[in-house]
Structure 1
């Protein structure tokens, strides 16, 4: 079942429980355009993630990098990495998403040797999985099998899934990656999450650049560089976009009105909210509200 609205905490950590009834995993098909935002918003989670594009094309933004994926290929996203996903060229992109708790990858006795060093490495935020490479094909086919197991729920399917996950991780590790642990990178990631956390706690209030910089223990200039480098935008532009995204769910309430929503998400002018909303969403807040209410009928 696709998750159409990803619940996040104030630091952008995803709150969705990625597990079946008995296993700490989740596997489902995602149609990007069906998400409430029209894309998969910026978030992170402790689970590692494997992606297989089954239709169309997608662009993944992971930490500071952008990766385009076409049908048939996939991606590994490491634990704790900030990422978002957009449909490329309105292709109707659909992908299989497999999220696995790192503690479930291998028996406990092997975690310290074969799991923790890889999920803590700063040089592996993601890996491109090529269907033309034997190891990549093995991983992508295993993802398909896991998805089928969850859908069909044949006897002992949990045991089959467990074996497939071990097989996936073994194929990933057999590439022989050189692992790196950059303390500066770790600190940068932590500061970025601190600033985002502060914004998401205070977005409905008046926010100044100094406030955001202080949350990350940075100067104003360094704060701007962090946002530009990692999120490809300025701190205050991010605040603006976050407020608009928070308004989407509120506008879908039949009892809400545009002025109330504007003030709830931190705008002190209805006309300014309407202007920024139109530029971001290509329609006015009222038009968006009408479209969403009509979809329910």
Structure 2
């Protein structure tokens, strides 16, 4: 069984910028099979215990814990408690934070931790960490505003999402030095590298070289390579391969394409190299990964 990408929802022809509800599974077992979507998703557990698969790793979360799911990150959720439980679900489009049109490219650094997978940050923030913070109240308020629909509720929900977003950025910045890699002193350099980062996210399936990206950014090859490593804490090829692997992960759970077809679709030159890298990152072959996720059909 394959699990397709969950599409964006539209209202009057316009993509919904946010979606929110309370999920209440009644029994132990699979709540959602493996899938992905363009929305950034936040969960806040109200009761029960759950297990979530994210970025190749299983995480536990329970009452009072907060979970972040990046845009287009493959995930599935299982209820661990016999009587299920409940959790708040809030999804929002990346454009709610950064639209790339009215804002400076400098602000792209605040969006990257939510749309890329190679940046390391906590996926589950525990109840103990959230104690005395505004996060639980803000998540509850989003649900309340959505249900009551008082005048201006759309603005209130966007404001609450923005406050949670800012809290996460500052929390990661304080506790994890690598969570916001675009922290150079030279603002011009940040802006120069942005074309390469955005290009790679949308053209990963094409032949891309560091030389090409250096030219795109109007930098020499050596300077671009050094700056890229300083920016992302990985080499150019490692970053590109990571993007391709994450896209391959999505195809493995959403299509019936062969491993060779998927390898080619995401830009790898050879299937053997794709399988080798996939095993290094996921600790299982692409075929094993596909069978592993698709075995949960409850």
TM-score range (shorter-chain normalised) is 0.5 to 0.7
Residue in structure 1 matched with residue 166 of structure 2 by the alignment: 170
Residue in structure 2 matched with residue 268 of structure 1 by the alignment: none
- Contact kept? 1:81, 1:125, Cα under 8 Å: no
Residue in structure 1 matched with residue 152 of structure 2 by the alignment: 156
In the TM superposition, what is the alpha-carbon distance from 1:230 to its structure 2 partner? 3.1
In the TM superposition, what is the alpha-carbon distance from 1:234 to its structure 2 partner? 5.7
Residue in structure 2 matched with residue 141 of structure 1 by the alignment: 137
From 9, 12, 15, the equivalent of 1:17 is 9
Matched, 1:104 2:91: no
Q: Tell me: CA distance 1:115–1:234, structure 2 relative to 1, closer, same or farther (3 Å).
A: closer
In the TM superposition, what is the alpha-carbon distance from 1:195 to its structure 2 partner? 6.1
Residue in structure 1 matched with residue 114 of structure 2 by the alignment: 119
| RMSD over aligned Cα atoms | 3.9
From 156, 168, 187, the equivalent of 2:241 is 187
Aligned counterparts of 1:196 and 1:221: Cα–Cα separation in 2: 18
Instruction: Tell me which moved more, 70-79 or 117-126.
Output: 117-126
Q: Tell me: CA distance 1:152–1:32, structure 2 relative to 1, closer, same or farther (3 Å).
A: same
Aligned counterparts of 2:250 and 2:129: Cα–Cα separation in 1: 37
From 10, 20, 23, the equivalent of 1:27 is 20
Query: Aligned pair count?
Result: 232
Aligned counterparts of 2:163 and 2:25: Cα–Cα separation in 1: 28
Aligned counterparts of 1:191 and 1:48: Cα–Cα separation in 2: 19
Q: Tell me: CA distance 1:102–1:210, structure 2 relative to 1, closer, same or farther (3 Å).
A: closer
- Contact kept? 1:28, 1:147, Cα under 8 Å: yes
In the TM superposition, what is the alpha-carbon distance from 1:59 to its structure 2 partner? 0.9
In the TM superposition, what is the alpha-carbon distance from 1:91 to its structure 2 partner? 4.4
Residue in structure 2 matched with residue 128 of structure 1 by the alignment: 124
TM-score (norm 2): 0.62
- Contact kept? 2:49, 2:80, Cα under 8 Å: yes
In the TM superposition, what is the alpha-carbon distance from 1:145 to its structure 2 partner? 0.3
Where does structure 1 lack aligned partners over 5 or more consecutive residues?
Answer: 1-6, 246-280, 282-297
Higher relative contact order (CA 8 A, sep 6+): 2
TM-score (norm 1): 0.62
**1:58-95 CA-partner distances (Å, limit 9, x unpaired):** 11111122210011111122223221111124340321
Aligned counterparts of 1:244 and 1:134: Cα–Cα separation in 2: 31
Q: Tell me: CA distance 1:14–1:33, structure 2 relative to 1, closer, same or farther (3 Å).
A: farther
Where does structure 2 lack aligned partners over 5 or more consecutive residues?
Answer: 182-231
Q: Secondary structure at the match of 1:169?
A: helix
In the TM superposition, what is the alpha-carbon distance from 1:119 to its structure 2 partner? 2.8
The runs of at least 4 aligned residues of structure 1 exceeding 6 Å deviation read 18-22
Aligned counterparts of 1:18 and 1:130: Cα–Cα separation in 2: 33
From 55, 71, 78, the equivalent of 2:70 is 78
In the TM superposition, what is the alpha-carbon distance from 1:50 to its structure 2 partner? 1.0
Residue in structure 1 matched with residue 51 of structure 2 by the alignment: 59
In the TM superposition, what is the alpha-carbon distance from 1:19 to its structure 2 partner? 7.7
